[in-house]
Amino acid sequence: MEVGSPNIQDILSKVGDLPAMPQIAAKVSEMISDPNSSPRSMQTVIQADPALSAKILKMANSAFYGGRKSATIVEAIMVLGYETLKTLVIASSTEAIFAKGGRASLKETLLWEHSLGCALGARLISDKLKFPGKEKAFLCGLLHDIGKTILSQRMPQAYDQIIQRVYEEGVEGVALERQAFGFDHTEIGMAVAAKWNFPSELQEAIRLHHAPENATENPTLAAIVAFSNALCIRAGIGPESRDDLGPIGEKAMGILQIQDANLELWVLELQEILTEQKIFFK
């Protein structure tokens, strides 16, 4: 698959090794892909992390999933299903990447909130459009801006200057990243997704969330991530805010054939979902 021409070795030479998928998330993902695995065997792995176990039980018992009383991880897995379990485990463990080295800075906290908001927004849009890959969309939304976090952590001074110009001059951040580094955050995000063995259609959606019209493998998935990203910015979720969807958001709406949508209601619904569900991922 070619969705651009990022030079991975150039990226690695400038930002260092890309983060590996957190160990427990990688193990759970592997087990979900193994037809011989069972909820009971997954329970053994998950229970090694008490904080993660508590999150899974809390989500399974929440009103969002019908308020059923799951007393064990096995029961919780049966309520959530494998795909939701996978996204919860990856999202919960990925937060640590955004707070590398201890407590997250305000900038990293805002990037994490935006990423989680985009993930939840992508799931919301998928539900509204009856798109069957809502958990795929969630993962793409979650990782769409992980390249920004890596740049912020590995090259803080250079990246802070880019952020300052974006806000003061209204310059396109992707263009400034390419000018400064020879690549942009979307290429880093695609490289991380590849390292985590995500399918190529997910890599493409992460890479093209600023240009969904160029997607060929799954244009709908790429457009959902782009539209969710624009909705989050419109809602002020994360470090950026604007009064409209911007050209990328409008383009994504066109690809998705969304017409006459009450965007204010979409924004309010997304804000409510983020407020309700972010406790499950922290």
- Confidence (pLDDT) at 3: 43
- Confidence (pLDDT) at 29: 94
Give the 3-state secondary structure of 222-239: HHHHHHHHHHHHHHCCCC
> pLDDT tens digits for 229-249?
999 999 999 888 888 899 999
In the predicted model, what is the mean pLDDT of residues 52-64? 90
**Could you give the maximum distance between any two Cα atoms of the chain, in Å?**
55
- Confidence (pLDDT) at 2: 42
All residues at 6 or more sequence positions from 194 whose CB lies less than 8 Å from its CB, including other chains? 203
Q: How confident is the model at residue 101 (pLDDT cuts 50, 70, 90)?
A: low
Average pLDDT of the residues of the chain: 90
Most confident residue range from 2-6, 141-145, 236-240, 258-262 = 141-145
In the predicted structure, residue 6 carries a pLDDT above the cut 60: no
Per this entry, what is the length of the chain? Answer: 282
CATH class belonging to 102-282: mainly alpha
Q: How many helices (H) and strands (E) does the chain have?
A: 16, 0
Helical residues (DSSP H) of 8-68, grouped into ranges: 8-15, 23-33, 39-46, 50-60
In the predicted structure, residue 270 carries a pLDDT above the cut 70: yes
- Token pair for 102: 């201890």
Contacts 24+ apart (CB under 8 A), 126-130: 126/224, 129/220, 129/224, 129/256, 129/258
- Token pair for 34: 């193994």
Q: How many CA atoms lie within 13 A of 243 on its CB side?
A: 0
Cα separation, 188 vs 178, in Å, equals 11
Spans of all domains in the chain: 21-98, 102-282
Angle between helices 23-33 and 82-98 (to 10 degrees): 160
In this structure, are residues 56 and 2 in contact, taking their beta carbons and an 8 Å threshold? no
In the predicted model, what is the mean pLDDT of residues 68-73? 88
